Amino acid sequence: MRDFSRSLPMSLLRAREAVMRQFRPSLRQHGLTEQQWRILRALAAIETVEVTELARTAFLLGPSLSRILRDLEARQLIERRTAKTDQRRSMVSISEKGVKLMASVAPSSEAIYAEITRRYGVRKLAELQEMLGELEQSLAGLGASEEAIAEE
Amino acid sequence: MRDFSRSLPMSLLRAREAVMRQFRPSLRQHGLTEQQWRILRALAAIETVEVTELARTAFLLGPSLSRILRDLEARQLIERRTAKTDQRRSMVSISEKGVKLMASVAPSSEAIYAEITRRYGVRKLAELQEMLGELEQSLAGLGASEEAIAEE
DNA sequence: CGCATTCACTTAACATGTTAAGTATCTCCC
DNA sequence: GGGAGATACTTAACATGTTAAGTGAATGCG
């Protein structure tokens, strides 16, 4: 079998870890995890969102998001209210306090991103992201649905 | 701030998830998680290893590895014994049962990898991995050490 | 020698990933 | 209009990620 240290999942994991290692200390100093930061960033760009839509945007599974929103709400970084038209839906938005926290984190976060871009190269970074997007595209629809049909 | 859905960590996360989504069902059918599979693969290529070295190879943190080894040992998929020369070190190796399990998983795993390669393209895949490796390299040594010095 | 330090893990504690099951609400169709 | 099925979450249960602290064994050095 192929040396697994050179497998695609491993390459992706290692690369992502190398990148996240840069950001975590800064986020941690502000009392945020990577996922909490993702959620705040997703909320900052929008008025309010449904939980399901937020899960899609922040690329989190429902259960994870559910827990994190509970905590962020307890810390008053976000606000929720149930939609008027559909009692099942919960509308989420970032709070004033959340906005301020983001403002205090953003500079360092931007600086780190800039340094990564500088080291790797702007053009190369764009190319890498393009290739990652294509990988994702090429695998879209290969997974769950067909298998599910086959198993039934 | 840059649309975070196009940030590098997000691109890497999405790409990796797209890939792993292909493997998880098969592994799950054999009662293995992604990490357990990584450990077995790392062990298959070697006689015995120390835990620390295995952590490096399988790219797992010590505490995660510690737990997983405990479980894999209970399932008799691996074997451990303490090193003669240094009682602190635990030498790990795959068991006969572990080898058999691997043999039963490998074909499907190889088939999935082949399909991914086919869809994305052999040359392109190699290029992507090359670029991921370079990203990792370009960030090596940017993180913990300097910060630690600065904080002291 | 003896003891402080380092080393190789392991435990602990908390946060998230992952799948399955539960709950409340809504929709649609008879 | 009422009940079956779909929808939007939430809870639960188990596994891992992440950091800090703990434990026992080796090492170095005065």
* CA dihedral angle for residue A119, residue A124, residue A125, residue A131, rounded to 10 degrees: -150
What pLDDT shows up at residue B150? 39
Give the residues across from B91 on adjacent strands: B50, B81
Residue B45 phi, psi (nearest 5) = -90, 10
What average pLDDT does range A123-148 have in this prediction? 81
Instruction: Answer yes or no: is pLDDT of B92 > 60.
Output: yes
Q: For residues A59 and B115, give the distance between their C-alpha atoms in angstroms, rounded to a whole number.
A: 25
Q: For residues B69 and B78, give the distance between their C-alpha atoms in angstroms, rounded to a whole number.
A: 8
Instruction: Answer yes or no: is pLDDT of A144 > 60.
Output: no
Domains recognised in chain A with CATH numbers:
8-139 (1.10.10.10)
Is B123 an 8 Å CB contact of chain A? no
A67 touches strand D (CB under 7 A): yes
Partner-chain contact B8 A19, CB within 8 Å: yes
User: Smallest Cβ distance to B136: which of A4, A14, A57?
Assistant: A14
What pLDDT shows up at residue A152? 35
Selected for mutation to probe chain B from A2, A3, A4, A94 (highest B CB count within 10 Å) is A4
Length of chain B: 152
Which residue's entry shows tokens 């797209």? B18
What pLDDT shows up at residue B3? 76
pLDDT digits (tens, 9 = 90+) for B30-86: 999 999 999 999 999 898 999 999 999 999 999 999 999 999 999 999 999 999 999
Contact status, residue B83 vs residue B91, Cβ threshold 8 Å: yes
